[in-house]
Structure 1
């Protein structure tokens, strides 16, 4: 059984490889952009994006509590405390329930999916050529299918970002005000889309149990397990190409903060 567990873990990490690459890169941009904002505008500089991104982040946690039957004890969509906490969701559950324990993993990772859904919604509502943007993202799927190494990954990333930038540039010229509003809102969501260290810590046990359940399923019915992995491959790939857009927006906001730090004096204190 140990071999099945190890193989299942390897399969999961392989399926999510490109997706995890995007998540880590996006987290790097989040740290960079927020650090530049705080250095330029003081400790409250992070509020420029957090006032939009944090509520989406916390709502994602709260919504994911529902299917796993976790009780939401308290929720604060945006309540900075000066120590790094911008918002929070506290929830309780029955630790003897396998379903609720596994739910901790999905609750912790929920902003990755809730943030993506929010970006799709904002794009549909605010940009007249949203369908063209979605088609450009989807067209990148085939590119990432062949990714097998670091060089291939960044080559595919560059191509995807270039295609997206071209489509977005057309929109920016045609509808500059709507584009600016969309860019600010979606960049703010992107910068607070990654799970926090606290989220990841709370997800560890749930992830371990999830791996054990999938390994057991594959042990009982190998064909069912493989069908599950095929389905997961498609989900991870679709999320990955969507994150190309998130990366482009987050990088854009980081660049704005960097330029501001060069052309204007820094604020002192908070």
Structure 2
């Protein structure tokens, strides 16, 4: 009976640790997916397939680049890549096909990050675009990260980090000076295109789920072993996941522009349908 109770406790501990490690990232992906789905829905109603394709010219290649880079990091063999295909019979705008060793734990875990790759590449592209095109806004965001996230990491509140990040970016971007800066408008167009295709497809989610199961399995085995020798992994995992504050701060960029894309697509839909 004690063995079963210990096994159940280890199982629950592993689930909690899994949530701490990747739960927030999954939540960000889900939220961006909901925003993108409604944005594309309004664009499709307003302009048909052309509405979605208008943003795919840069959004889809960056989406697929995220998968590709993670394939390289996790040692998967890439067999075929299409960064953008506008005339696909099944509506797939791009894809990355890859193979891996099913007997490798490292490769199996990699499936999770390969599936989540577009979130990393999308956010990275938004930050890089800000750095190149609107450097003053980028500097304001960087200072916020350094002063209010890094220095106060232990006391960071998740919702406060997200809210303050969105507020900081909004205030630094939408200034009177930027309204007369052509580079700002270029960045805005690019940001809308990127955020319109940052979310995960069903295939991406299915691939990530395989890796998620392996991460859970590794945590479970680790907790079984450390439990026998009296090592507290929970405290270590919780301390390690202070990086979630950075996940929220950087994700706020994608969240902001996904909201903007939703608003723009809704307005265009209403204008097209005559309100």
Aligned residue number for residue 40 of structure 1:
46
Q: 1:138·1:241 contact (CA, 8 Å) conserved in 2? A: no
2:107 to 100, 104, 108: 100
Aligned residue number for residue 150 of structure 1:
none
1:79 to 76, 82, 85: 85
**Is it true that 1:244 corresponds to 2:260 in the alignment?**
no
Aligned residue number for residue 30 of structure 2:
24
1:182 to 178, 182, 187: 187
TM-score by length of 2: 0.82
Structure-2 separation of matches of 1:172 and 1:253:
22
**Is it true that 1:123 corresponds to 2:169 in the alignment?**
no
CA drift of 1:227 comes to 2.9
Alignment RMSD (CA, Å): 2.7
CA drift of 1:77 comes to 0.2
Structure-1 separation of matches of 2:162 and 2:197:
21
Structure-2 separation of matches of 1:90 and 1:30:
23
CA drift of 1:117 comes to 1.7
1:146 to 137, 154, 157: 157
CA drift of 1:47 comes to 1.3
1:234 to 242, 246, 249: 242
TM-superposition CA deviations, 1:18-59 (whole Å, max 9, x none): 544433222111111111111111112111222111111111
Aligned residue number for residue 3 of structure 2:
none
Residue 135 of structure 2 aligns to a residue in which SS? coil
In structure 1, runs of 5+ residues without a counterpart are: 148-152
In the TM superposition, structure 1's runs of 4+ consecutive aligned residues that sit over 6 Å from their partners are: none
TM-superposition CA deviations, 1:148-183 (whole Å, max 9, x none): xxxxx4x76555433321121127636531111112
Instruction: Quickly say closer, same or farther: Cα 1:92–1:16, change in 2 above 3 A.
Output: closer
CA drift of 1:225 comes to 6.1
**Pair member with larger Rg:** 2
Of 251-260 and 135-144, deviating more is 135-144
Equivalenced residues, count: 259
Q: 1:137·1:164 contact (CA, 8 Å) conserved in 2? A: no
Q: 1:127·1:171 contact (CA, 8 Å) conserved in 2? A: no
2:265 to 251, 257, 262: 257
TM-score by length of 1: 0.84
CA drift of 1:205 comes to 2.2
Residue 211 of structure 1 aligns to a residue in which SS? helix
Residue 174 of structure 2 aligns to a residue in which SS? helix
CA drift of 1:70 comes to 1.3
